Structure 1
């Protein structure tokens, strides 16, 4: 499809969904400016990636154009450019369900462009996901003249906040809408904030403080892959206590590890489960441990490299989280 004749509108930081803070250094950053002095440099650098940030809108335009630019490498050896740096469009079908429409595959850092099929027969709700593993510098949307851009239906619920690892951030989904966090949010009809930091989900107390600034419906802690056993022993309880002190009633879901878990339950997951049980007995409410044994299935087909899930692994992991989150949100 061609972009000829479309009218273009630049997307601003205040337009999007999935940001936990409005005061950010760049429009599509995931942490506030104040976090730079609080978090490790590696977390700050990864916070410029636009994982989980999306734009919901309603339009009657039969074509929807997207122009976008990113600031880093387009792809990784184990993750395609369409997931690292691409944009992903979903739209609601006649029954109100979200359906994949198309992915914008980047070919350069600056000036990528794609035109999707838009609405037919009247206004329709859409959701555009931004890149998972790159700095998104600029986004423009194009619509047919006279079709207009309308606001989406307001969300009725507070967001789900995910904090974790490279898998939480979206590695190695083939496109942004296939991150397990995005799949789960669509299934639950909730907005979500993705605070996955590749290799750096390590439960520093500064992150507990930052998470508590977001008025969430539930906090999901999914950090075990990035933590050693001593780190889990040292950091999980203080992290939960800090978060609970600021948010006394919000559920906190502590996930086990899908890759490490086995019927005998390895120590990092065991430590997590026992910590949740001990804190619950101590009177701290709203803590849930989510075992992840066989979350990716038992056929060995759910990863790219034995560690990071494919779209199949993401879908399977999302199912496990949706089942648990339905009881909490």
Structure 2
């Protein structure tokens, strides 16, 4: 009798889930015209995928940059709907779980919405997810008033397909990509999205929400070494501002290499654009009280970076700014392992850049 009750209960759950699945109308962002994929340059060339660089540029990149450029870091999709129930269904390329990354951040999606009063809120899905080959995130019993939604994609996964499901009678439309000139941010894993708890809290996504700026994330985990090929690609972008945040990876370079590569990048950008360029020192090491020498290499690299920036300014390069390490006030509770910021650290990062950009872009 107990087995019969259990079987009946499982059948009812299955029928309920099936009914929910059958009630959705599905929308594919790849079929939207014009494009609705925010957070990248070269949108026309990449519109058939969720990559951040077109294939013609990927071919010239160092292998790690090429591979990470296929991840959806900083990408988001905006849409308008009055649906009560919403489901995101997507697939990603297989990859190992990173030890310093929450699965929800590495491979999950994150949803925000702006209501009719203009207030933006985060929307939790209350663990209504399925992590099988096709991943689903389901959001139920939402307010029925029309809202402008923004779906942030996983920063450390290559998305191969994605659909958005809404109630059959609900209104739905994609919001075209922003035409505002972007703030282009080039950096390390910290820029790409390591290591808050979920995608919406990566510091570049947080910066986007708190400033309204169009942000292009060109973070490449462990691979921000300022190669000429990367700068050649970056200078193609008609940007409002360029941010170069290299030291968390480029500290491994010599002082001469840092100076040579910074000079090349600034020169290449200036040949095409007069937009402000912010070059960033690395943050101060949060655990230096008991690891006083942990940031020795970072200090040397910061010194080399500061020297070349000041030299370029003296040589007459206009609109070139330095982001000092002291301006990113990391605390001990802001890091996960003293290398990558957690949720607190990402908010600190975003607020520091908000303050800097406010001065630079006024």
TM-score, scaled relative to structure 1? 0.91
1:49 shift after superposition = 0.6
Residue 69 of structure 1 contacts residue 109 of structure 1 at CA under 8 Å; is this kept in 2? Answer: no
> In structure 1, how many angstroms separate the alpha carbons of the residues matched to 2:47 and 2:208?
26
| 2:272 counterpart of 1:272 | no
Q: Give the Cα–Cα distance (whole angstroms) in 2 for the partners of residues 84 and 51 of structure 1.
A: 10
Question: Aligned to 1:232, which of 254, 258, 262?
Answer: 258
Where does residue 56 of structure 1 map in the other structure?
78
Gaps of 5+ in 1: none
User: Does the Cα contact within 8 Å between 1:82 and 1:106 map onto a contact in 2?
Assistant: no
Partner of 1:244: 270
**Could you tell me how far 1:45 is from its partner in structure 2?**
0.8
RMSD: 2.5
Q: CA deviation at 1:119?
A: 5.5
Moved over 3 A (4+): 1-4, 103-109, 151-156, 259-265
Q: Does residue 5 of structure 1 match 2:27? A: no
Cα deviation, residue 270, structure 1: 2.1
Q: Using the alignment, how far apart are the partners of 1:35 and 1:297 within structure 2?
A: 35
Give the direction of change, closer, same or farther, for the CA distance of 1:259–1:95 in structure 2 (3 Å limit): farther
Given the two structures, how large is their TM-score scaled by the length of structure 2?
A: 0.83
Indicate conservation of the 8 Å contact 1:163/1:223, yes or no: yes
Q: State the secondary structure of the residue aligned to 1:239.
A: helix
One of 329, 332, 336 as aligned partner of 1:304 = 336
What is the aligned partner in structure 2 of residue 36 from structure 1? 58
Give 3-state SS (helix, strand or coil) of 2:38's partner. coil
Larger Rg computed on CA atoms: 2
Number of residue pairs matched by the alignment: 327
Query: Structure 1 pair 53/233, CA: closer, same or farther in 2 (3 Å)?
Result: same
Distance, in Å, in 1 between the alignment partners of 2:72 and 2:97 is: 15
Q: 1:154 to 1:107 in 2, by over 3 A?
A: closer
1:164 is aligned, of 187, 190, 212, to 187
Match of 1:99 in 2: 121
